Amino acid sequence: MRTEKRERELVEPPGISCILQKAQEWGVTIKIMVIGGQAVLGYCGRIRTSKDTDAVSPNEDTGLLIDLLSECGFDVERSTFGLRCKRQRNGDWDVIHISLGDIADESRGEGNVLRYPVPASSYAEAVELPLQGLVLDKATPPPMAPVLPLEDLIITKILPVGRTTDMEDVVLLLVTAVEQISLDKIVAKIRDLEELKPAILERLEDLAEFILEHQIGTTWLGRPWTPAERTRVLRFIRKLNSQVQ
């Protein structure tokens, strides 16, 4: 039995890919998108090794999702805002944190959790991208998975407080994927978020200040960013702020 389990560990694809593969084998459709840092790296083509993946799935798909995760060998636990899933794969831990329905921002502490309601249309607009952060070296082909649309991703990265990484992620997206980003779409989404709008406006001010005061490290861009890039990113943030007001 242990040998059979070990053999399966060696051939199973990484978490999200396994879920999608099993769904295809079963002839069912599962709505799930990668979010967070892995999504950022997917759009920007950067490699940052990580064993964890964050994802989101609608509440109505929870039962099917748990069945697929179990079939892929994951132990599934309920968490405050979704599912925490882990399994052994190739002698290491394969971990997925799945938000159900909304993407929760807990950075302000207990009792002040902000929830980003993922629109149903975002699942239809998800882009399939390589998950660069799950590879250990450039020679290993990264797994493919649906990723949260850029406009939703930027909003979820603007919201958290106290985490420099999220600000750097926004800058990385605006520097490397700016031609794919629709300012009008972001504005429209934020205008529909009356409860989140004050927090977003506050964070846009913080982000502009951060851009003015910090040099983004080469860990993210792979090089120092140029004055022209800094100006372009700052102009985008200020324009977004003024249009959302």
Q: What are phi and psi of 169, to 5 degrees?
A: -65, -40
Over residues 12-54, the pLDDT tens digits come to: 567 888 999 999 999 999 999 999 988 988 888 765 555 689 9
| Exposure b/e, 37-49, CB count within 10 A at least 16 = b | bbbbbbbbebbee
Nearest to 16, CA basis, from 34, 31, 29, 42: 34
178 vs 190 pLDDT, higher one: 190
Between 8-12, 62-66, 70-74, the lowest mean confidence (pLDDT) is in 8-12
Q: Give 111's pLDDT tier (boundaries 50, 70, 90).
A: confident
Label the pairing between strands 52-57 and 92-100.
Answer: parallel
Q: Which domains does the chain have, with CATH numbers?
A: 1-148 (3.30.460), 149-245 (no CATH)
Query: Amino acid letter at 218?
Result: T
